[in-house]
Amino acid sequence: MTQLSILLAGSPNSGKSTLFNTLTGSKQKVANYPGVTVEKKTGRFTTPKGKEVEVLDLPGIYSLTPYSLDEEIAHKRLTNPQKDLVVAVTDATHLERSLAFVLEIKQLKKPIVLVLNMSDLAYNKRILIDVAKLQESLGVPVVQTNATHSKGVEDLVRAIDQLDLEQHQQKADSTEVKKLSPEQRFQKVDTILAKCIKKPTNAEVVSQKIDRVLLHPILGGLFFAVFIFGIFQAIFTFAEAPMNLIESSVAFVGEFVRNFIPDGFVQSFIVDGIIAGVGAVLVFLPQILILFFFIFLMESTGYMARAAFIMDKMMSLIGLQGRAFVPLLSSFACAIPGIMATRTIKNPKERLTTILIAPLMTCSARLPVYILLIGAFIPNTKIWGFINIQGLVMAGLFVFAIITAIIVAFVMRKTTLKGRKSSFIMELPAYKIPNMRHLFLNLWHRTKNFIKKAGGFIMWVSITLWFLSTFPQPPQDWDQPAINYSIAGRVGHFIEPVFEPLGFDWRISTGLIPGFAAREVMVSALATVFALDDTLGEEQQTKTLTEKLQSTWSLGTGLALLVWYIFAPQCLATFVVAKKETGGWKWPIFMFTYMFALAYIGAFITYQVVQMF
Amino acid sequence: MTDKLKKLTDYKVGSCCEVVDYVDDKNTEEDIMAVQKIREFGFVKGAKVTIQHIAPFGSDPIAAEVRGSLIALRRIDAERIYVKDCPQKT
């Protein structure tokens, strides 16, 4: 059982990841490189001869010169004296560029196998490659593959099997390789290409034709807007049914358990603690799945690069770059998948800034609270004859949040997260038909990861919050709402003075505690606090709740709570995901702090100003 | 001599030009790295470049074809490249 370590190196568009997937199948693991937020993908497979191979999929890079974190990591690993085999993956249809990279890798003194990936595409484009001559010119074994089919990878596995690593290592050690400048490298590449490859003059016609529309100054922008709007709508609408299904399934299971276990702590613990906690995690799945489906689709077809190209200027005005657009837009549906989507941003500071402002995008969970408060405190009248004030305020909340996010990003990039704007040079790869099987495989891995990492934590905190809101239970003769007797209730009363300047009473400060778990929980928390009869239907509850709010709170309090909600860090899952994506608690805590500060100041100003009239 | 040369950003969509040199009046590390990166993406001296697209907002970035690939770069980087007209095919 010989162990072999393989490093998969190549550019982002070489089909390297597909090759990795085909080689390792389900036997892969995604972690983070220690201390940084770059993904480390490892996997394993066994060759027919019984060799156990461990594969490390290095970040996709164009050259070894470390301009970015990705390149630094790849460079570090490739210069590590460990005995590895480097499998250099290239796009056979674009060897003008990838061979230059291979020449760079040759300097590293590790044995190399050159993979000409997408060789089926090259064949279709009538690109003829003399593999033997190429092997001779480069001095390394060359294998043609089509990574999308396992058959297409058999040759590679066979070649790896038959490789005498010792011999190749010796050869690599003894070969003198000069460090070449880019010009010299490309010159050498051109010489080799002239000998080994015959390429018809215009091999890229289809892609160019598509770009004539998709990158057209007007049509392209239009297509982009429609496409992005479509994604946004899809997340909003297609997730709704599954989310309702998940919620009612959770409720169903809860009811089922209620019938078996008698009333009491155990029942409450299982139903309101565990089952509700699990539900709180699962309910995000539909949105995550939909968003990532579209992101993977955009990446694998090559459209993502075009999207980043179109949006880059607007994003760079606030210190971000084109790729920040998709995560931020998705955050309007839910910041959880939005923050996860920031992985496509390579520059760590830009990625952090994007993660920090993502929760400011008015997410769908805020809507129930907005609707409740606007319904209770904003008059349902029209101004100028046709503009409904309630709708206007709703739109205003959205806009206000976006403007704040822009300011926060701008400030962050000029201060704490100040950094040079990453040189935005990027290849716009030729369009490709995506491999749907691999797309869903990736989707599966991403979801599994989410449930494992974020799920556990969220569930435990939900259980804790349930505990705090339920215990201790009030005695029989307690005539106030039950929650007042619990720990959460007592804490709520205790911290009331802190929120007094905002016009918040004990009900709000108590409701904020379970409401910390998720924004929409605030509505049911308020219902509990106002001791509403929970056998009433949701609609009836909202009506009654609205009336109670109007009679108990002043306009100032209502509006202050509304403003609080624009900024307040009231989504536990956001922080858990932010912790996972930033590799520590430092930034989630910072996020919590600045959002809390914005919420407090905003609500304070609102309340005080309204009170003056 | 160099101030007679045009920059990549002076060319319109569809036009072809050839890389001649790089702007080096600034010498910060950032500028040196930027030029190095530009070269590694294929914009080496003598390379033929065809401007293919310009982004809708603010005409930035631009997409140019070089060495068989379509590369997007911001104006701030494209401005570092001195070019001349492509030699006419006879």
Are the beta carbons of A217 and B56 closer than 8 angstroms? yes
E-strand ranges in A11-122 read: 28-32, 39-46, 52-57, 85-91, 112-117
Nearest CA in chain B to A11: B41
Query: Measured between CA atoms, how close is A215 to chain B, in angstroms?
Result: 7
Say whether B46 sits in a helix, a strand or coil: coil
Give me the percent of chain A exceeding a pLDDT of 90. Answer: 12
Q: Torsions phi, psi of A181, nearest 5? A: -80, 165
- Which residues of B fall within a CB distance of 8 Å from A217? 54, 56
Q: Is A469 left (phi over 0), alpha (psi -120 to 50) or beta?
A: alpha
Q: Which amino acid is at A484?
A: N
pTM: 0.81
Q: Do A63 and B40 make contact, defined as CB atoms within 8 angstroms?
A: yes
Average pLDDT over residues A374-392: 79
CA distance A537 to A47: 61
Average pLDDT over residues A442-457: 76
In this complex, the residue of B40, B45, B58 whose CB is nearest that of residue A65 is B40
The two three-digit tokens of residue A124, written as one number? 């279709």
Average pLDDT over residues A167-191: 80
Report the residue of A181, A205, A215, A350 to disrupt the B interface, i.e. the one with the largest count of B CBs within 10 Å: A215
Query: Measured between CA atoms, how close is A325 to chain B, in angstroms?
Result: 14
pLDDT in the model for residue A114: 93
Average pLDDT over residues B13-36: 83
- Which residues of A fall within a CB distance of 8 Å from B73? 424-426
Q: Is B34 on the interface with A (CB under 8 A)?
A: yes
Q: Is B35 on the interface with A (CB under 8 A)?
A: no
Nearest CA in chain B to A101: B40
Are the beta carbons of A224 and A211 closer than 8 angstroms? no
Q: Do B42 and A314 make contact, defined as CB atoms within 8 angstroms?
A: no
The two three-digit tokens of residue A572, written as one number? 């536990």
Nearest partner of A334 among A100, A573, A20, judged by Cα: A573
Q: Do B69 and A186 make contact, defined as CB atoms within 8 angstroms?
A: no
pLDDT, one tens digit per residue, over A587-600 is 999 999 999 999 99
- Which residues of A fall within a CB distance of 8 Å from B69? 94, 96-97, 427
Overall size of chain B counted in residues:
90
CA distance A251 to B61: 51
Burial of A602 (0-12, 13-18, 19+ CB in 10 A): buried
Q: What is the ipTM of this complex?
A: 0.91
Q: Of residues A584 and B49, which shows the higher confidence score?
A: B49
**Chains A & B: contacts with CB separation below 8 Å:** 107
Q: Cα–chain-centroid distance for residue A186?
A: 37
Strand A112-117 relative to strand A142-144, pairing: parallel
Task: Please give the biggest Cα pair distance in chain B.
Answer: 42
Interface residues of A toward B, Cβ cutoff 8 Å, are 62-63, 65, 67, 94, 96-97, 100, 181-183, 186, 203-204, 207-208, 211, 215, 217-218, 220-221, 305, 309-314, 316, 420, 423-430
pLDDT, one tens digit per residue, over A112-148 is 999 999 888 888 888 888 999 999 888 888 999 887 7
- Which residues of A fall within a CB distance of 8 Å from B46? 183
| Average pLDDT for chain A | 82
Say whether A365 sits in a helix, a strand or coil: coil
Are the beta carbons of A545 and A372 closer than 8 angstroms? yes
Q: Do A309 and B63 make contact, defined as CB atoms within 8 angstroms?
A: yes
In this complex, the residue of A220, A423, A424 whose CB is nearest that of residue B56 is A220
pLDDT in the model for residue A467: 79
Q: Which residue has the tokens 């992985």?
A: A343
- The Cα-based distances of B16 to A182, B10, B11 in angstroms read 21, 11, 8
The two three-digit tokens of residue A113, written as one number? 């196998």
pLDDT in the model for residue A56: 93
Q: Do A310 and B55 make contact, defined as CB atoms within 8 angstroms?
A: yes
pLDDT, one tens digit per residue, over A197-226 is 887 766 667 888 899 889 888 888 899 988
Are the beta carbons of A286 and A301 closer than 8 angstroms? no
Q: Of residues A365 and B25, which shows the higher confidence score?
A: A365
CA distance A593 to A598: 9
Q: Is B28 on the interface with A (CB under 8 A)?
A: no
Q: Do A183 and B39 make contact, defined as CB atoms within 8 angstroms?
A: yes
The two three-digit tokens of residue A317, written as one number? 């005005």
Q: Do A96 and B67 make contact, defined as CB atoms within 8 angstroms?
A: yes
Q: Torsions phi, psi of A412, nearest 5? A: -60, -40
Q: Which residue has the tokens 């505990």?
A: A467
Q: Which long-range contacts (CB under 8 A, 24 or more apart) does A450-456 make?
A: A450/A284, A450/A285, A450/A288, A450/A340, A450/A577, A451/A281, A451/A285, A453/A576, A453/A580, A454/A281, A454/A336, A454/A573, A454/A576, A454/A577, A454/A580, A455/A278, A455/A281
CA distance A478 to B79: 76
Average pLDDT over residues A426-454: 82
CB atoms within 10 A of CB A391: 13
Average pLDDT over residues A31-57: 80
CA distance A91 to A96: 10
pLDDT in the model for residue B1: 45
pLDDT in the model for residue A174: 72
Q: Of residues B24 and A355, which shows the higher confidence score?
A: A355
Q: Do B55 and A424 make contact, defined as CB atoms within 8 angstroms?
A: no
Nearest CA in chain A to B71: A427
Q: Of residues A82 and A603, which shows the higher confidence score?
A: A603
Nearest partner of A286 among A328, A239, A321, judged by Cα: A239
Average pLDDT over residues A260-283: 75
